Amino acid sequence: MTIGTVAGGRMMMVVHGWLEKIRDINRKYATPRITMSRTVKFVLLMLRLYLIVLVILLGYKFWTMLQ
Amino acid sequence: MDFGSTFFYKYRRFIKALKIYLILAGPGIIVMLADNDAGGITTYAVTGAKFGYGLIWFLLLLLPVAYIVQEMTVRLGAVTKRGHAEAIFDAFGSFWGWFSFLDLALVNWLTLITEFIGMTAALSIFHIPPVITIILVSIIMMLMVLQGRYWTWEKIAILFAALNLIYIPAAFLVHPSVGEVLSVGLVPHFPGGFNGTLFFFLMANIGTTIAPWMIFFQQSAVVDKGMREKDIPWGQMDTLIGSAFTVIVAIFVVVVTGTVLFGSEIESAAQAASIMMGINPWLGTFIAIGLFDAGFLGAICISLASSWAFGEVFGWAHSLNLKIREAPWFYACYLFALVTAGIVVLLPNAPLVLITLFVQVIAVTLLPAALVFLILLLNNEEIMGKYKNTTLQNIMGSAIVIGIIILSTLYGITTLFPNLLV
């Protein structure tokens, strides 16, 4: 077994460990604790739309910089 | 009871209250003075040079804005015993949790770079090479956290925060006309009329008053300090005193540059310090020390805000009360942020100006979310119990949050598209 194979194996284990940790976090916080009232849903929807608009603007700026 | 006894009783009560306050003070004062970071000082310096004393009244308006937002983090931290990152994951689920966390990590790291830029620029006035500045600052910052007690870290941070007040003696060195400062500065008006440039500066000053890291930092600091519900009034007083200090420092920076550099086109506080060095070496020295301290304060708070958030989300031990072997990942995150940000600043041809502009835009993607989550959390009776927002707090908080979102978004967009307001 070469040093490269051992290092690669360890790297894979670390990455696997991290992915498992992220899955754990996603499972732990799968259900939002806050009651999803109509107001909360509306506010979160607005926030999503706001972020989408900002991402489009950032993308447009990036595209114009490349031109 | 005679006069002497009453006086003695009141004096004892005051001393007792002062002692309690001094024990519980910290997060509010530190976060507020760190708010006047390298970017903040540059904004105020340029504002003073551009508009003289004309916008001092506007800075005064920022006191309640800063207080109302940051006060909510005190209550949230003291009641939930959780940092803001963890609170978002818990209340709104993993999508919003990851969004806030990753955005925070990115914007904090980029802001840390700007703090290093400010510190290196300030010390280069004293002919100290950037590499020495970054190594020294990193060592001091590591020593501050590695001593193993939150209390000690906090008191050292307060000492550095006090150095932020150096702009007050600096203002006395320039002998401003107090009458003019009061008559021009305190009367609300728009110097030169309301135009695109002025609007940009108003947005910049608001943008520097509330930054995303401040919300995360203060809430985590309240938790790490171990503040409980009964300590909330002291935390509120701490935040109010801190807000007053942040505005006072901002005003004095404007007074200094408004007196000496009014009408000059300057781009940064470091440039202002260089020019002032030629006029009065003491003045230039004070401004440069203040700029270095501002960057340093910002750096210690921002890097800690990130480390706390990492610990909260990944479930690692994350407290300044823990030794390095007890919370290795917490300190590793802190060190990683410091070293990588320092390296970026030292890289030849690194796009530092682009990074400085990019920080403002990325911050705009996180700030509205962090503020909206704050208001929603503070309105949840299940989470906050009797400490939830009152109707008045909601009206003021929501108005401020909506105002900040609109203005900071416009600021971000005009940073992206500078010709929009011209």
Cα B77 to Cα B279: distance, rounded to the nearest angstrom: 47
Contact B308, B111 (CB under 8 A): no
Closest CA to B333 of B101, B158, B114, B120: B101
Q: Does B329 touch chain A (CB under 8 A)?
A: no
Nearest chain B residue to A41 by CA: give it: B92
**The tokens of B354 are what?**
């682009």
Please tell me the least confidently modeled range out of A4-8, A38-42, B39-43, B182-186. A4-8
Contact residues of A toward B, CB < 8 A: 21, 25-26, 28-35, 40, 43-44, 47, 50-51, 54-55, 57-58, 61
Contact B206, B63 (CB under 8 A): no
pLDDT at B422 exceeding the cut of 70: no
Q: Give contacts of B92 with chain A, Cβ < 8 Å.
A: 32, 34, 44
Please tell me the least confidently modeled range out of B93-97, B393-397, B417-421. B417-421
Average pLDDT over all residues of chain B: 88
Cα B375 to Cα B389: distance, rounded to the nearest angstrom: 8
Helix, strand, coil percentages, rounded to 5, for chain A:
80, 0, 20
Tell if the CB–CB gap between A54 and B364 is shorter than 8 Å. Answer: yes
Give the C-alpha distances (Å, rounded to integers) separating B368 from A29, A45, B167, B405, B410. Answer: 22, 13, 31, 5, 12
Among all chains, which residue has been given the structure tokens 């400062």? Answer: B181
For residue B1, the model assigns a pLDDT of: 62
For residues A32-64, one letter each, b for 16 or more C-beta atoms within 10 angstroms of the residue's C-beta and e for the rest, the string is bebeeeeebeeebeebeebbeebeebbeeeeee
Tell if the CB–CB gap between B94 and A57 is shorter than 8 Å. Answer: no
CA distance A6 to chain B (A): 24
CA distance B377 to chain A (A): 8
Q: pLDDT tens-digit profile of A27-64? A: 999 888 888 889 889 999 998 998 888 888 888 877 88
- Report all structural domains of chain B as residue ranges with CATH numbers, in order of start: 3-416 (1.20.1740.10)
CA distance A1 to chain B (A): 31
Closest CA to B142 of B288, B298, B308, B299: B299
Please tell me the least confidently modeled range out of B49-63, B196-210, B313-327. B196-210
* pTM for this prediction: 0.89
Contact B209, B65 (CB under 8 A): yes
CA distance B174 to chain A (A): 43
DSSP labels, B253-264: HHHHHHHHSTT-
Cα B259 to Cα B261: distance, rounded to the nearest angstrom: 6
For residue B113, the model assigns a pLDDT of: 92
pLDDT at B264 exceeding the cut of 90: no
Closest CA to B38 of B139, B149, B116: B116
Average pLDDT over residues A12-27: 89
Alpha-carbon torsion angle B334, B335, B336, B341, nearest 10: 90
pLDDT at B25 exceeding the cut of 90: no
Contact B125, B277 (CB under 8 A): yes
pLDDT at B319 exceeding the cut of 80: yes
One-letter identity of residue B219: Q
For residue B108, the model assigns a pLDDT of: 92
> What separation, in Å, do the N-terminal and C-terminal C-alpha atoms of chain A show?
50
Q: Give contacts of A31 with chain B, Cβ < 8 Å.
A: 93
Among the partner-chain residues A31, A51, A58, the one whose CB lies closest to the CB of B93 is: A31
For residue A37, the model assigns a pLDDT of: 87
Tell if the CB–CB gap between B368 and A47 is shorter than 8 Å. Answer: yes
pLDDT at B327 exceeding the cut of 80: yes
Cα B19 to Cα B11: distance, rounded to the nearest angstrom: 12
Q: Indicate if ipTM > 0.90.
A: no
* Highest mean pLDDT of the ranges B8-12, B37-41, B198-202, B331-335: B331-335
Q: pLDDT tens-digit profile of B340-382? A: 999 999 988 777 777 776 777 777 778 888 889 999 999 988 8
Contact B207, B360 (CB under 8 A): yes
Give the C-alpha distances (Å, rounded to integers) separating B76 from B13, B210, B245, B268. Answer: 29, 17, 23, 36
Tell if the CB–CB gap between A33 and B364 is shorter than 8 Å. Answer: no
For residue B268, the model assigns a pLDDT of: 81
Q: Does B316 touch chain A (CB under 8 A)?
A: no
Please tell me the least confidently modeled range out of B223-227, B302-306, B357-361, B389-393. B357-361
> What separation, in Å, do the N-terminal and C-terminal C-alpha atoms of chain B show?
69
Contact B63, B57 (CB under 8 A): no
Nearest chain B residue to A61 by CA: give it: B416
For residue B421, the model assigns a pLDDT of: 60
Q: How many CB atoms lie within 10 A of CB B170?
A: 25
> What are the residues whose beta carbons fall under 8 Å from the beta carbon of B131, sequence distance 6 or more?
B346
**The tokens of A7 are what?**
């290092």
Among the partner-chain residues A21, A32, A47, the one whose CB lies closest to the CB of B91 is: A32
Proportion of chain B above pLDDT 90, given as a percent: 53
Average pLDDT over residues B19-26: 77
B358 or B85, which is more confident? B85
pLDDT at B78 exceeding the cut of 90: yes
CA distance B84 to chain A (A): 14
Residue A12, sorted as left (phi over 0), alpha (psi -120 to 50) or beta, turns out to be alpha
For residue B80, the model assigns a pLDDT of: 92
For residue B309, the model assigns a pLDDT of: 92
